[in-house]
Amino acid sequence: MTNAIYRIITDQELRGPAAGRLTREMTRRILGDYESYHRDLILNLLKRFELAYPARDDIWYLPGALPQDEPASASGPAWSDALTFEYEYPELPESVITRFIVR
């Protein structure tokens, strides 16, 4: 199972063009040598350990694979009145902030 999860979270399409958006079709491509029920089990494990968050029945978002670039502000609303947070930690695991944003 660990190997299967690793294959998903390191997939180049997921980290590139798909921008962290995992579909069932991608899961079949990545884990083609696994049975359907095993792929479902693996997706449930990704969800349980907060490595993936379901958006719909066939789409999951992986925070660790989301793009790191900030979106262009010209296309969005003015953020000057937005609520902001500032957290300071002596040590912060890399995935905490992206998991917080996705959740």
The per-residue pLDDT for 99 is 74
Closest CA to 102 of 15, 18, 11, 20: 20
Which residues fall within 8 angstroms of residue 102, CB to CB, at 6 or more apart? 53, 61, 63, 66
- Distance between CA atoms of residues 103 and 13, nearest Å: 23
Q: What is the pLDDT of residues 14-52, one digit of tens each?
A: 998 988 899 999 999 999 899 999 999 999 999 998 889
Q: Which two tokens stand for residue 17?
A: 């063009």
Q: Which two tokens stand for residue 86?
A: 């500032």
Choose between 81 and 15: higher pLDDT. Answer: 15
Q: What is the pTM (predicted TM-score) of this model?
A: 0.67
Average pLDDT over every residue of 77-92:
75
